[in-house]
Chain A
Amino acid sequence: MNMFRFLGDMTHLFSVLVLLLKIHTIKSCAGISLKTQELYAIVFATRYLDLFTDYISLYNTVMKLVYLGSSLSIVWYMRRHKLVRRSYDKDQDTFRHHFLILPCLILALLINEKFTFMEVMWAFSLYLEAVAILPQLVLLQRTRNIDNLTGQYVFLLGAYRSFYILNWIYRYFTEVHYVHWITWISGLVQTLLYGDFFYYYFHSWKNNEKLQLPA
């Protein structure tokens, strides 16, 4: 495993854990989109079906379980915990996230590396992950401010995306037969969505303003 891949996994891990620990500690999820969190839980659940069929390494298995457990915990906190639930910006978090799922499923049925249940689910999870941040971006745009919680969260997710792209470039040049077009293209789309966010984040930070995304 190369350093880019490891750093990508770690920033991804921290993004989820930091969010979970903060929600647990401050008993608030203000500014966090439940829609995005539910989509991530679906992404992990559909991608890691191979937990039951394939063993890659202890590292892979443990990381998969931690990602699954922490993302499901976040959803549980936001939906069920009586204090956290109260801080959820329900009226602002209006993105119709269910409408993202069907197109991703259709796309996965059409474009996959192999037409098997596991591979279609794998492709579905990649397509869904690419767009899962959209409800969060819409919520940021609505509330027009970014606090430390959401700022760090999206920053860590962005770092994760960047490291994974470096990992793919590194592996392409150092390994034979390492070609994953579906992963690369959906990963690139996802990173571009973050890039859009970063542009406005840094712009507002430079001007010392509250974050304001274009309507």
Chain B
Amino acid sequence: EGRDLNHDEL
């Protein structure tokens, strides 16, 4: 179950 929403913030 990978992350397809781009959560590139911390």
Query: Do chains A and B stick together as partners?
Result: yes
Looking at chain B, what size class is its interface with the partner chain? under 10
> Beyond A12-B10, A64-B10, A67-B10, is A50–B3 a contact (Cβ under 8 Å)?
yes
Of the candidate stretches A28-36, A69-77, A80-88, A111-119, the one touching chain B is: A111-119
Smallest CB separation, B2 vs chain A (Å): 5
Looking at chain A, what size class is its interface with the partner chain? 20 to 34
**Structural contact, B7 and A50, CB atoms closer than 8 A:** yes
Interface residues of A in 1-36 (CB under 8 A from B): 5, 9, 12
Closest to A171 in B: B9
Interface residues of A in 33-63 (CB under 8 A from B): 50, 53-54, 56-57, 60, 63
Separation of A117 and B4 alpha carbons in the complex (Å): 12
Name B residues whose Cβ lies closer than 8 Å to a Cβ of A: 1-5, 7-10
Q: A53-B2, A167-B9 are in contact. List 17 more A-B contacts (CB 8 A).
A: A50-B3, A50-B7, A53-B3, A54-B2, A54-B3, A56-B8, A57-B8, A60-B10, A64-B10, A67-B10, A113-B5, A114-B5, A116-B1, A117-B1, A118-B3, A119-B3, A164-B9
Name A residues whose Cβ lies closer than 8 Å to a Cβ of B: 5, 9, 12, 50, 53-54, 56-57, 60, 63-64, 67, 113-114, 116-119, 122, 164, 167, 183
Name 22 A/B residue pairs within 8 A (Cβ), A-sorted.
Answer: A5-B9, A9-B10, A12-B10, A50-B7, A53-B1, A53-B2, A54-B3, A56-B8, A60-B8, A60-B10, A67-B10, A113-B5, A114-B4, A114-B5, A116-B1, A118-B1, A119-B3, A119-B5, A122-B7, A164-B9, A167-B9, A183-B9
